Amino acid sequence: MTLKNIPYLESPPTDHWDVEPGPSKEQVTSILSQGAYSFPVTDLEGVVRYDGAQLASNSPCEDHFIHGKLPSLWNDGRDWMAWGVFDGHVGGQTAELLKEKLLPFVRHSLNQVKHYPDEEWGPEELIQYAIMTGFQNLDDSIIETALVTSQSEESLPEKVKRLAPAFSGSCALLSLYDPSRNTLHVAFTGDSRAVLGLQRPDGKWEALPVSVDQNGFNEEEVARIYNQHPGEDNIVDQERVLGLGVSRAFGDCRWKWPVDFQQEMQQRFYGPMWSGAIQTPPYVMAEPDVTSVKLDTERPCFLIMATDGLWNMLSSQQAVDLVGKWLEPEALKTNPDTEPTYEPFDFGPFWKDMDWRFVKERTTVQDDNVAVHLLRNSLGGNHHEMLAGRLAFSYPSSRRVRDDMTVQVVFFNRDG
């Protein structure tokens, strides 16, 4: 046993205490850039580069992501590329599982494509169906694993860990790029969003939505849910599905399991509390919509993928415009020393006459990583006190001013 001196606690009383000052401009950049990445792509036709960044609000962050190469579906020696963002809620356990398992499940499903030729379906339709199947198979596995786990001989701690991905939930946004067909396949479950930026002949950038948010604001989703549950009123209230902010998601057992099983899991494992409004689950599913876009090799373009933490702050067109601004020549980049000077600021004006979301006049261009550039401008841009004030909050107070934010930007074509 090592002998240590007992701490001595006496100190004189004081009517003030030292507090670390809020983030400086250099510290803001460090916070926004922590964990950011950028990869030039030189050995895969069509993709030039991709950047990514993540800013946590929850502790730990409930967002997860993937990026990288995978073998070609066509066995032609030309690798595909994949990018994915997974926005967890009620914990990050489901999103963490998607990070590890969604692409393998989709890849397994894609491998079956060549075994099921269909004269009525072309390659794109087969791929879309395979991706949908991979998503659904993984969610079925998450939900069904819980039933097996509850009846197993495993120890209580092991059961609790295995049940966690069903108790929590996650959105999923996965993009696969096939260079042999110059085709981008985007699958989405939830409200993470993908948008393409396409350059027009006049040099300006046009936003082309690739996904449609699946939540209570989506009239088609609301109609689908009510059609599946005739006679039930108020399933969607204040744009939420029985309290849930999205209409499709992985996990989220409370909206999927039979009521009696939910009550059993709550009693035995402190699972999510059953709500009396839930009568005939499932109300939420993980089946994705899949969009396939054939990219014009003569037209520069880029893809923005992000969790809703970013889209809460700016529109698809504003995000595309910000990336377009970032692509302008170096001479047009912002000098932070010449940025506007603002009056002393607190968050009071957000409730009156100041927009808390992105404002074009606050745009600044100073980051080498375009994903970091999007984070910076979505939270305040050249208004340092606004931006630093938002970053000064730590969890859980930070949730009042920002969500977890995960962003990926992919540049396509040689001139992109």
Q: Is the pTM of this model over 0.85?
A: yes
pLDDT at 19: 77
Average pLDDT over residues 258-285: 88
Tell me what percent of the residues of the chain surpass a pLDDT of 70: 97
pLDDT at 1: 64
Evaluate if residue 202 carries a pLDDT over 70.
yes
Average pLDDT over residues 248-274: 91
Neighbours of 122 (CB within 10 A): 10
The domain spans of the chain are 25-334+353-412
pLDDT at 161: 94
Peptide bond into 282 cis (omega under 30): yes
Lowest mean pLDDT among 3-12, 21-30, 87-96, 400-409: 3-12
pLDDT at 114: 62
Tell me what percent of the residues of the chain surpass a pLDDT of 90: 75
Evaluate if residue 110 carries a pLDDT over 80.
yes
pLDDT at 330: 75
Average pLDDT over residues 41-59: 95
Number of H helices, E strands in the chain: 10, 15
> Nearest 5°: phi and psi at 85?
-130, 140
How confident is the prediction for the chain on average, in pLDDT? 92
> Nearest 5°: phi and psi at 373?
-55, -45
Average pLDDT over residues 80-97: 97
Q: Where is mean pLDDT largest: 70-79, 218-227, 335-344? A: 218-227
Look at residues 90, 83, 76 and name the one whose alpha carbon lies nearest to residue 106. Answer: 83
Q: Which DSSP symbol is given to 196?
A: E
pLDDT at 122: 65
Average pLDDT over residues 185-211: 96
Cα–Cα separations (whole angstroms), residue 169 to 6, 85, 328, 337, 352:
46, 14, 39, 44, 35
Please, what's the largest Cα pairwise distance for the chain? 85
Confidence of residue 416 (pLDDT cuts 50, 70, 90): very low
More confident residue, 14 or 120: 14
Torsion of CA 394, 400, 402, 405, to 10 degrees: 80
pLDDT at 273: 79
Specify the CATH architecture of the domain 25-334+353-412. 4-Layer Sandwich (3.60)
Average pLDDT over residues 67-77: 87
Confidence of residue 370 (pLDDT cuts 50, 70, 90): very high
pLDDT tens digit sequence for 281-299? 999 999 999 999 999 988 8
Distance CA 126, CA 120 (A): 10
Evaluate if residue 144 carries a pLDDT over 50.
yes
pLDDT at 128: 94
Average pLDDT over residues 331-359: 86
Average pLDDT over residues 104-126: 76
Three-state secondary structure along 2-68? Answer: CCCCCCCCCCCCCCCCCCCCCCCHHHHHHHHHCCCEEEECCCCCCEEEEEEEEECCCCCCCEEEEEE
Evaluate if residue 414 carries a pLDDT over 60.
no
